[in-house]
Amino acid sequence: MLKGIYPGSFDPVTYGHLDVIERSSKLVDELIVGVLNNKAKSPLFSAEERVRMLNEVTKDMPNVTVVPFEGLLVDFARKMDAGLVIRGLRAITDFEYELQMAQTNHKMEPDVETVFLTTSLDYSYLSSTTVKEVAAFGGDISQFVPGIVADLIEEKMNKRRV
Ligand code: PNS
């Protein structure tokens, strides 16, 4: 049985992430979406909120589960008994960081392989950071994130404004 992990911050999950989740769920028997809870960072959404959003938007994908993690990705992969890490590559600018991460992870845990999916052209420009920036200035984010995510971002932004 092939178990893969698609790790990320998902702050928030975008259509670009969803595209990678959908496509990679067809490549493995079980896909674990690993949500990094990085205590050194202050994300817009807590890990619990990000897990909830991801559960909602992946509810029709039966072989996908969403699990939060802290610490090293390779430790999480070992704990989950997953031999594959999947990452999306949008553009050449992603490559250097992704290569470094994949090679570091492989040095630490040679039994875990990283594979890359090139993101669909439709979403190759998209990032959680730009979504948050557009939303912060009141822009329309409906084409970047699922409706329930857009509503939650708007709620957060409104709270920040008061
Ligand atoms: O969505 P992101 O922020 O690009 O995801 C980055 C992520 C979560 C995959 C990466 O930061 C990660 O794996 N962090 C866990 C810590 C770790 O294992 N670091 C060593 C790899 S160089």
Distance CA 118, CA 41 (A): 27
Q: Which fold has domain 3-161?
A: Rossmann fold (3.40.50)
Active site residue 17: yes
Name the burial class of residue 4, with classes exposed (0-12), middle (13-18) and buried (19+) by CB atoms within 10 angstroms of its CB: buried
Q: Scan for tokens 């909602």, then name that residue.
A: 56
CA distance 93 to 97: 8
| Ligand 1 contact, 134 CB (< 6 A) | no
- Relative to the CA of 11, which ligand 1 atom is closest? 1
Omega into 110 within 30° of 0, i.e. cis? no
Give the pTM. 0.96
Going residue by residue through the chain (162 aa), what tens digit of pLDDT does each one get?
999 999 999 999 999 999 999 999 999 999 999 999 998 889 999 999 999 999 999 999 999 999 999 999 999 999 999 999 999 999 888 999 999 999 999 999 999 999 999 999 999 999 999 999 999 999 999 999 999 999 999 999 988 776
Neighbours of 90 (CB within 10 A): 19
Residue whose pair of structure tokens reads 């998209």 in the numeric block: 126
Q: Output the CA 8–ligand 1 centroid distance in Å.
A: 6
Beta bridge partners of residue 5, listed in sequence order:
32, 85
Rounded to 5 degrees, what are φ and ψ at 86?
Answer: -115, 130
